[in-house]
Amino acid sequence: MEQQTKRKSKFALMLVLEKDDGTIKKHNISSAVVEVAAAILFVIFVAIICKFVYDSITIKDARKEIVNQIVTINSLTDENEALSVENSTLNSKIAVLSETVSKKAATEDALSQETIENALPKGFPLSGSATMKETDDGDPMLIFTASSGINVITTGTGTVVSVDADEVYGTKIVIDHGNGYKSVYRNNGTALVKNGEELGKGYILFSVGEDNQELGYQIMEDDQYIDPMLLIDING
């Protein structure tokens, strides 16, 4: 039996160079060098392919990230616009509330001023006409003489702080009007109010009859008697 010997095929690469003078020079490149060069080229090719694939994936991820950022930006823009509208609405409500509070404060100030004004004992202490004289004996006092059927009334809003007996006039009523002012009514009639009552302006304190036609009227400021004419409105 004949044994056949397998021979490994080899190849070589020949480079032919022609010089300027017409001579030809040949260079043989062995198969080993060619194989190494081919291997290097293959590695470079694979590297280029890998780089291309990597760049493609990176670009794809970058595009995806850009899309996500655009979506986020649009969402934030819409949210910002909604907040701006809400802020504008709140500012309008605040302006309305501020105006309401200002009007309420002005109304309360006016009511407070009106309350203080109504509390001052400036009114006429009788519901009708009467003769009047002033006394200078001790504490200032106005003495009124009225006809039957006329009422002794409060000269301002206030609280009854005392209903006591009076040595000269029979009964004395003291009303506290606040802000340091008090009014004093001295008459021989029956008191129609009691201690602690809250009274409005013009409230009846005594009814004038045949036996109690004289009224002694005084005003106190900070517990000191003052001339009633400084406050009293004679025209009622």
Residues 201 and 123: beta-carbon distance below 8 Å: yes
User: pLDDT by residue (tens digit) across 109-131?
Assistant: 665 677 777 789 999 999 999 99
Collect all residues with Cβ–Cβ distance below 8 Å to 111 and sequence separation of at least 6: none
Q: What is the pLDDT of residue 35?
A: 80
Q: Is the pTM of this model over 0.95?
A: no
Mean pLDDT of 198-209: 96
Indicate the average pLDDT of the chain: 86
The yes-or-no verdict on residue 236 having pLDDT over 50 is no
The average pLDDT across 197-204 equals 96
- Residues 154/123, Cβ–Cβ less than 8 Å: yes
Q: Using CB atoms within 10 Å of the CB of residue 227, give its burial: 0 to 12 exposed, 13 to 18 middle, 19+ buried.
A: middle
Percentage with pLDDT > 90 across the chain: 46
Q: What is the mean pLDDT of residues 60-81?
A: 88
174 pLDDT band (50/70/90 cuts)?
Answer: very high
pLDDT at 51 over 70: yes
**Structural domain boundaries in the chain:** 10-119, 130-230
| pLDDT level of residue 92 (50, 70, 90 thresholds) | confident
- CATH 1.10.286.10 correct for 130-230: no
pLDDT given for residue 1 in this prediction: 45
